Amino acid sequence: MNSLLTFSNWTPEQAQSLLELALKVKQQPQDYTDVLRGKNIIGYFEKPSLRTRLSFDIGVQKLGGHFIYVDTASSKLSGREDAVDMAANMSCWADGIVARVFSHTTLETFVENASVPVVNALCDKYHPCQAIADYLSMYETFGTVKGKTLAYVGDGNNVTHSLLLLGALLGCHQVVVTPEGHEVDEDILAHARSLAEQTQTTITTSNDVDAAKGADIIYADTWLSMGDDTPLEKIKARFMPYQVNSAMMKLTGASHVMHCQPAHRDLEITSELIDGEKSLLMLQAENRMHAQNAVLTTLFA
Ligand code: CP
Ligand code: NVA
């Protein structure tokens, strides 16, 4: 692995190794304190972040490295120069780039023009660092990912895409339930299905929440992703039947609930579930750092 933009070109074996490494990094952090010794990682953020920014900053410190945060809005960097030139300049000083961008093409440009590894910290299409933290959380909760079923309910988005790709590689059956018109990207879905064939895993899509019956985990995300300025009032009535709430947990029989956060209480998920005993939200948040440190260890060790 030279960079991590998506998991689309990974093998099931590579995905399983990363998952196992993430668990090791979490359980034996003392073995990884020199992975980034003397190395500088730039965090280039075009969109806001709480979890990703802080978990990378603190995580890089735990690996012995230094993290430099650049946010394009307050530094007024947007539109000043081409991504081609930014990537080449950043490579002059840094050992790696962690980037949260509006468009996936910016990341592709970074990879082509940077001489250091690039990690996708969320773009319009993918959120791979979230997916590896989520499957680590599932692994710790159930003792396995293989053969379990995760049902994502809501807007088909960047988080859904990364869950589909990595879940297919790790052997997790998946159900994606979205309102009509908010389905996942067809090409990414087709690619995830081709990966799922390698692990004999099923991927089901539906507009009907009944499709999530029998799932082990129900997964929610915001109905409006960053960069989407559709007024909430315009989509609320359409999405409300897809709210992850106790009735849905009862209908599906799922034992746990996940959300990548930021969560909008009592919109896509109820407060009762966020704060309840079925919630894996804080485990997912905690695991962001361990999972990302496994990615950085794979790239730099
Ligand atoms: N889940 C996640 O990426 O959170 P942030 O947007 O706060 O980084
Ligand atoms: N789908 C959300 C995820 C936030 C972590 C977004 O892109 O805003």
| The pLDDT of residue 87 | 97
The ligand whose atoms approach the alpha carbon of 125 most closely is 2
Q: Among all chains, which residue has been given the structure tokens 């690039």?
A: 118
pLDDT on residue 76: 83
The reported pLDDT for the residue numbered 183 is 98
- Which residue intervals of the chain bear CATH 3.40.50.1370? 12-127+287-300, 130-284
- The alpha carbon of 99 and the centre of ligand 1 are apart by a number of angstroms equal to 13
Model-wide pTM > 0.95: yes
- What superfamily does domain 130-284 belong to in CATH? Aspartate/ornithine carbamoyltransferase (3.40.50.1370)
The rounded mean pLDDT for the chain is: 97
Encode pLDDT of 206-224 as tens digits. Answer: 999 999 999 999 999 999 9
pLDDT at residue 286 tops 90? yes
Distances (CA, A) of 235 to 178, 200, 248: 13, 36, 20
Tell me the fold of 12-127+287-300.
Rossmann fold (3.40.50)
Closest ligand to C-alpha of residue 227 is 2
Residue nearest to atom 4 of ligand 1 (CA): 51
> Which residue in 127, 191, 259, 290 is the catalytic one?
127
- Distance (angstroms) between ligand 2 centre and the Cα of 159 equals 7
Is 226 a pocket residue for ligand 2 (Cβ < 6 Å)?
yes
- Contact (CB, 8 A) for 13 and 37: no
Rounded CA-CA distance 249/26 in Å is 30
Q: 69 CA distance to ligand 2 centroid (A)? A: 19
pLDDT on residue 198: 97
Q: Is 55 in the pocket of ligand 1 (CB under 6 A)?
A: no
Asked whether residue 1 carries a pLDDT value surpassing 80, the answer given is no
Ligand 1 pocket check for 120: Cβ under 6 Å: no
Listed residue (153, 152, 155) closest to 164, CA to CA: 152
State the burial class of residue 37 (Cβ atoms within 10 Å of its Cβ: 0-12, 13-18, 19+). exposed
